[in-house]
């Protein structure tokens, strides 16, 4: 019933928001909810508990949506601080 309601709602949106209503299913709500929590900064362990996942399975569902999580990583790494390479000659034994 929930899947039917979700598909009907998608059909009511002009252009279906770029989503094929036939691909919508109620089970996607779990992954969508987990993604929103993850993007909101919730600890992945807490998401696993709330969603009753016993492993890292949630990341199998979320991999396609990882860009928002990693898009700032290069900027953070670049501006995060000064790093230098320690060579064998720089070390004191």
What confidence score (pLDDT) does residue 13 get? Answer: 86
Measure the CA–CA gap between 28 and 17, rounded to whole angstroms: 16
Residue predicted with more confidence, 24 or 81: 24
Measure the CA–CA gap between 63 and 84, rounded to whole angstroms: 32
Provide the greatest CA pair distance for the chain.
Answer: 71
What residues contact residue 18 under an 8 Å CB cut-off, 6+ apart?
none
DSSP state of 54: S
Q: Are 39 and 10 in contact (CB under 8 A)?
A: no
What is the CB-side half-sphere exposure of residue 67 using CA atoms within 13 A? 2
Residues 23-54 have pLDDT tens digits of 888 877 777 788 778 778 888 888 888 877 77
């Amino acid at each position: 019933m929930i899947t039917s309601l979700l598909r009907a709602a998608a059909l009511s949106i002009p252009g279906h928001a770029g989503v094929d209503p036939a691909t919508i299913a109620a089970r996607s709500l779990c992954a969508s909810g987990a993604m929103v929590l993850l993007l909101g900064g919730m600890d992945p362990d807490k998401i696993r508990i709330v969603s009753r996942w016993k492993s890292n399975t949630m990341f199998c569902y979320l991999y396609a949506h990882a860009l928002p999580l990693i898009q700032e990583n290069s900027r953070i790494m670049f501006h995060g601080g000064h790093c230098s390479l320690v060579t064998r000659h720089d070390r004191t034994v």
